[in-house]
Amino acid sequence: MAQNNESEILRKLKSLCKRRGIIFPGSEIYQGFANQWDLGPLGTEMARNIRTMWWDRFVQDREAIVGLDSAIIVNPKVWQASGHVENFNDPLVDCKDCRERFRGDYLLAEELGGNFDGLPLEHISKLIAENNVCCPNCGGQLSQARKFNCMFKTHVGPVEGAGSEAYLRPETAQGIFYNFALVQQSMRLRIPFGIAQVGKAFRNEITTGNFVFRPREFEQMEIEYFCRPGTDREHFERWQEEAWEYYISLGLSAEKLRWRQHGKEELSHYSNRTVDLEYLFPWGKWGELEGIASRTDYDLKQHAALSGQKLEYEDPQTRERYVPYVVEPSFGLNRALLAILCDAYREEEVRGEKRVVLGLKTEVAACKVAVFPLSKKDKLVAVSKPLFDDIRKRWPAIPDTIGSIGKRYRRHDEIGTPYCITVDFETLDDNAATVRNRDSMQQDRVSLDRMVGYLEDKLDR
């Protein structure tokens, strides 16, 4: 019952996101494509806020983390060295009747409960047989699990075939690893330090679904934090605290967040310790928002071996040379946006009428202030235009002249605009306007010359 209720919220949220310009189904006029989504004008603003809050907190506000923007298509040797060509596989099973394809570990999780990520293929096949797991689509018999590499292949240059094959990056991390020495030397960085990168990554997922939770194209915000071997544990724990604080700053409820440690079987080939920060999504399941992995010196050593280049650090005081250890906090932007939307969505009854509100943090909201002239009469437009221009110089704002004031409030409640200003006929006499707070719906009469200062107090705390 609760489950039903909760998918209902997701359905409403999807419809709101489309109606209000937050998230659109990708390739909509062609009936969509492979679980891809496009950010609308307001979703683009929200994503920019999430990204900026991340960059300010983790790069801008500290000394020892620098940014990088590496290419999406790189020398395919990068993916050989990283182990992705060999190991980046999901267990694929087919239905022998309807030919539908599934991810074996997810099917088991659905049927038996628990987590089966990273389980060897033969164990997955065995568990499917032992537990009589059938095709969820038609009830048909399932094949043995086999390897399916999740990297997107492409060709570079005009000739297809061996030698021209390349991949779209499945993670932003490797661009950081192969640039390690260039970044460290050009910026004269001393360990411990971090390199941060925000950008698109691509995974040819077998199973997608749940709105923007697992699209095949997504945006990562990653840091590789290089430290002295032996200090990785302490940095790992500090990154856990920092990641938690970041998600709280986005407005997520602490009671819907938890840490989950990866079991031995589930650990990636490069990691000796991984934890996921999970969020309780409205479809009733915990889902990963962020992972912190201790990647040891695996990646730098792999790239050094395949490239023949030294990827080491020399301590300027002791002259000791070593390959640094790496702690990697890896954040997903799409999932952060989805969790924020789920957390912020609420329905309320006000004087017998239903209102839908996105209770977004002001830092995350796409539009901070809306300005409504009560009517389209020239006199009111003449007063509200300079007010709007003043506000727009400071914060993302939207002028709104269409429909009744009630309808305009409803529209802005749905996109989470924290403050709406109404310019009415009294404004012509008292040179003031009414500011309405989204959450309390309390209204203040504020003089126009004090308006920017009033909003500064509320928005730029």
- Site for Zn ion (CB under 5 A): which residue of 137, 164, 186, 437? 137
Question: Closest by alpha carbon to 39, among 200, 150, 277?
Answer: 200
Q: Does 93 bind Zn ion (CB under 5 A)?
A: no
> Which of these segments, 22-30, 127-135, 227-235, 300-308, binds Zn ion (CB under 5 A)?
127-135
Cβ distance to Zn ion smaller for residue 102 or 247:
102
- Site for Zn ion (CB under 5 A): which residue of 95, 304, 360, 455? 95
Smallest distance from Zn ion to CB 105, Å = 18
Smallest distance from Zn ion to CB 133, Å = 12
Smallest distance from Zn ion to CB 35, Å = 19
> Which of these segments, 63-71, 138-146, 164-172, 297-305, binds Zn ion (CB under 5 A)?
138-146
> Which of these segments, 15-23, 98-106, 312-320, 422-430, binds Zn ion (CB under 5 A)?
98-106
Cβ distance to Zn ion smaller for residue 86 or 110:
110
Smallest distance from Zn ion to CB 209, Å = 17
Q: Does 135 bind Zn ion (CB under 5 A)?
A: yes
Q: Does 140 bind Zn ion (CB under 5 A)?
A: yes
**27-56 residues near Zn ion, rule: CB under 5 A:** none
Smallest distance from Zn ion to CB 138, Å = 3
Cβ distance to Zn ion smaller for residue 64 or 138:
138
Smallest distance from Zn ion to CB 336, Å = 35
Q: Does 138 bind Zn ion (CB under 5 A)?
A: yes
Euclidean distance between CA atoms 108 and 62, whole angstroms: 44
Cβ distance to Zn ion smaller for residue 133 or 397:
133
- Site for Zn ion (CB under 5 A): which residue of 34, 64, 73, 98? 98
Cβ distance to Zn ion smaller for residue 100 or 266:
100
Which residues contact Zn ion by CB under 5 A? Answer: 95, 97-98, 100, 135, 137-138, 140
